[in-house]
Amino acid sequence: MDNSKLNIKHSPLQKSSKIFVAGGTGLVGSAIIQNLLEKGYTNIVANYHKRIPNNSKLNIKHSTLNTNPVKYVKLDLLDATATDEFFKSELPEFVFLAAAKVGGIVANNTYRADFIYENLQIQNNIIHQSYKNNVKKLMFLGSTCIYPKNAPQPMPEDCLLTDTLEYTNEPYAIAKIAGIKMCESYNLQYGTNYISVMPTNLYGPNDNFDLEKSHVLPALIRKIHLGKVLEENNWDAIRKDLNKLPIEGIDGSSSKEEIIGVLEKYGIAIHYHNPLSQPQISIEIWGSGKPRREFLWSHDMADACVFLMENRDFSDVINSEKDNSKFNIKHSTLTNEIRNTHINIGTGVDVSIKELAYMIKDLICFKGELYFNTDKPDGTMKKLTDVSKLHSLGWHHKIDLEEGIMRMYDWYKGNS
């Protein structure tokens, strides 16, 4: 391996640079696009697979932007030939690889083959085409689920591949580990400039609120919102919510009995103590509520990604003037090994699922009960990132959890 390749400085990101945001309609991708637009970038392309996204949902703050600030191209990133043709046609200079098949504990454990196959395919197609088409810099977005189930807390970058993964999301985690190693290997062999970042649990606008497949925070927000409008007997709000996002085919046109039945199936139950009393609403939450999780506002994540793309290269992570031991990088001059060059992105602060649920309950003003079903799995008990490398590279988060939840709830009410 030629170590001189590690010192290559690629051209800096310019306002007119051609930027491809893979997965630009998702939670992270849409936040990255909004951040880029607000900073004045003018040449952005993103892919969509099924429906053309509505640019108005980007909620751009600058009125001087064009009516259609982003070029959306229909592209299935699982299709290697189509991805090859896209790169040859568009010739992006910078790539944010935010496309992925994602989901909560149920989806990860149920669709194991889909999660490993689709994520590997997307990564392989984009990273290799970026190399073939001379992309100046690529950012690969992974997940902190790459770390062992019993990783030290907070989790440093150098605990990667030191122990067994959490079983429920093992296929997804293995795919993401492969993405890290693919970026690292292309850098070491070909002198490319690919950076891997591992975000903690993200939440924000354009999140997935599907009760079968969503992550814990958006699922709690939607369930507690539905509980609140149920206790208010606000059937207009209930039907509006289900028209926007039906549950197992039950939408706003369904009967009250059908709606109540499907809500109860997903843990939103109505209890009548006597025929004349107000109904009591309870919300079931999987597990004991004891596991602790760290949450990062998606626009903070986007800001971190754009900051690193603008200001840092792979060589900065390897050859920082800081002590490498502080960055947890394994760089041995004897064996010529370079490992753990990825960067955790998070807040460094966690909260229990029970604390999170009651925080949402209070912020939404839901008066009903929360029931923690201990017959259901908890998953990993604690997942907190060590963000010292990120802080040393010059970035800190800005939005705390309570403010982020209220922003997300306001967005959800306006889009449901």
Which residue is it, tokens 């990273």?
Answer: 127
> What's this model's pTM, rounded to 2 decimal places?
0.85
Beta bridge partners of 352: 292
| Structural domains in the chain (count) | 1
Examine residue 168 and state whether it is found in any structural domain, yes or no. yes
Q: How far is CA 99 from the centre of its chain?
A: 10
Q: What is the pLDDT of residue 277?
A: 67
| 41 carries an active-site annotation | no
User: Two tokens at 392?
Assistant: 């040393």
Angle at which helix 235-244 crosses helix 256-265, to 10 degrees, equals 70
Q: Diameter of the chain by CA atoms?
A: 80
The dihedrals phi and psi of 3, each to the nearest 5 degrees, come to -65, -20
Residue indicated by tokens 């998702």: 26
**12 located within any domain:** yes
> Does any domain span residue 153?
yes
Question: Residue 19 is encoded by which pair of tokens?
Answer: 């930027």
In a domain, 254, yes or no: no
pLDDT for 49: 77
| CATH number, residue 178 | 3.40.50.720
Domain that holds residue 127: 3-207+293-349+383-404
Q: How far apart are CA 180 and CA 93, in angstroms?
A: 20
Q: What is the mean pLDDT of each run of 10 residues along the chain (416 residues)?
A: 56 91 92 95 90 53 52 95 97 97 81 96 98 97 94 96 93 97 96 96 89 88 96 94 95 95 95 74 95 95 96 81 43 65 96 97 96 88 93 95 96 86
Identify whether 410 is part of a domain: no
d(CA 44, CA 54): 15
Is 258 among the domain residues? no
Which residue among 41, 147, 172, 412 is the active-site one?
172
Q: Is residue 334 part of a domain?
A: yes
pLDDT given for residue 108 in this prediction: 83
Which residue type occupies 139? M
**From residue 260, how far is each of 226, 230, 272 by CA, in Å?**
11, 10, 13
Q: What pLDDT is recorded for position 62?
A: 38
| Residue keyed to tokens 């988060």 | 397
Token representation of residue 22? 């893979």
- The answer to whether the beta carbons of residues 248 and 263 sit under 8 Å apart is no
Q: How far apart are CA 46 and CA 282, in angstroms?
A: 41
Residues 6+ apart with CB under 8 A from 355: none
Examine residue 257 and state whether it is found in any structural domain, yes or no.
no
